[in-house]
């Protein structure tokens, strides 16, 4: 005879939508199961690579139970107004170089196992990704890794040089402007309802950016005012869970990454299998950071429940 699950407190029980601090946008599922594709969707698109066929990659993710893809959508390259249109439409991808044994550096390492040796039109590829996402019922979280790793995999240094030449104090403004143009382009292509969330940048605390409170919060507010129907936020690499009062108010959603964990108001405690790496990254409730973050969000801000992120 199977025993009933042991009661471990009301906080462990599944809550309905009425428990949210705000109502999620109507175009989103009540629960986001997130597959993290970062920049790999364009840096591992070589022949036979895991993202060479975006439709097949979406089909595989859907089969595994995901409904959301999180990507670096390279807003500064595509819509930053930095004179990089020639790269946006003809980007040559290269890896970290050839190792002395004839292989490539980065082998067996998530993100960095890039053989390179091909070119792509990233502006067109972004629309192709959204088209594939629509066919398979996905929504997409838009982020940027450009002040982290993305530019490393471009053969030309122009992308990095262009964004690095922007003064620190102007970088959040430039990001907000680029996001506005990118969102408008996706809207014109009929994909606005595919946007699950927009992150000003991935891991703002581990990027070549000022602290979010030093100009980023104001630009985030401005982007939210331009697109009030969308969730707009920023991602933390190391949430200040012992000093959550330092997090600027007004984030559209709380989002932090910890290996393979997205911290929402209520976090999933499941383990998520990662077939590509053949290992399991457990997701766990982030009690220290979630509760204080709840107090920092406005009561009208949405926070989907039980979201799970996985790397594959």
Tens of pLDDT, residues 119-146: 999 999 999 999 999 999 999 999 999 9
Do 98 and 28 touch, CB atoms closer than 8 A? no
Q: What is the pLDDT of residue 8?
A: 73
What single DSSP character describes residue 156? S
Q: How many CA atoms lie within 13 A of 99 on its CB side?
A: 10
pLDDT at 203 over 60: yes
Least-confidence region, from 58-62, 73-77, 190-194, 279-283: 279-283
pLDDT at 269 over 50: no
Do 133 and 149 touch, CB atoms closer than 8 A? no
Q: What is the pLDDT of residue 240?
A: 80
pLDDT at 244 over 90: no
pLDDT band at 226 (very low <50, low <70, confident <90, very high): very high
Secondary structure in 3-state letters for 205-232: HHCCCCCHHHHHHHHHHHHHHHCCCCCE
Is this structure's pTM higher than 0.85?
A: no
pLDDT band at 25 (very low <50, low <70, confident <90, very high): confident
Q: Which residue has the higher pLDDT, 65 or 262?
A: 65
Distance CA 106, CA 99 (A): 9
Tokens for 216, please give them.
């980023």
Distance CA 72, CA 82 (A): 18
pLDDT band at 19 (very low <50, low <70, confident <90, very high): low
Do 284 and 272 touch, CB atoms closer than 8 A? no
Q: What is the pLDDT of residue 273?
A: 29
Tokens for 190, please give them.
């009929």
Q: How far is CA 274 from the centre of its chain?
A: 18
pLDDT at 274 over 60: no
pLDDT at 47 over 80: yes
């Amino acid at each position: 005879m199977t025993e009933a699950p042991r009661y471990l407190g009301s906080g462990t029980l599944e809550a309905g939508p009425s428990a949210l601090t705000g109502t999620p946008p109507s175009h989103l599922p009540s629960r986001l199961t997130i597959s993290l594709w970062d920049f790999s969707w364009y840096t591992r698109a070589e022949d036979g690579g895991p993202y060479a066929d975006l439709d097949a990659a979406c089909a595989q993710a859907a089969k595994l139970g995901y409904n959301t893809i999180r990507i670096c959508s390279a807003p500064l390259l595509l819509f930053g107004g930095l004179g990089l249109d020639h790269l946006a439409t003809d980007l040559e991808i290269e890896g970290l170089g050839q190792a002395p044994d004839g292989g490539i550096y980065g082998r067996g390492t998530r993100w960095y196992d890039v053989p390179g040796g091909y070119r792509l039109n990233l502006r067109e590829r972004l629309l192709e990704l959204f088209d594939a996402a629509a066919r398979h019922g996905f929504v997409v979280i838009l982020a940027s890794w450009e002040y982290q790793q993305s530019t490393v995999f471009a053969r030309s240094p122009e992308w990095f040089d262009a964004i690095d030449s922007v003064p620190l104090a102007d970088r959040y403004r430039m990001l907000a402007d680029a996001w506005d143009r990118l969102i408008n382009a996706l809207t014109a292509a009929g994909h606005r309802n595919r946007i699950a969330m927009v992150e000003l940048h991935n891991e703002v605390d581990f990027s070549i950016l000022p602290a979010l409170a030093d100009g980023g919060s104001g630009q985030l507010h401005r982007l939210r005012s331009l697109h009030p129907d969308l969730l707009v936020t920023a991602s933390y690499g190391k949430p200040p869970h012992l000093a959550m009062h330092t997090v600027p108010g007004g984030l559209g959603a709380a989002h932090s990454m910890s290996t393979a964990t997205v911290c929402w108001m209520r976090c999933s405690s499941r383990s998520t299998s990662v077939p590509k790496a053949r290992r399991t990254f457990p997701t766990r409730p982030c009690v220290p950071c979630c509760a204080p973050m709840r107090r920092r969000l406005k009561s009208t801000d949405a926070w989907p429940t039980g979201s799970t992120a996985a790397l594959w």
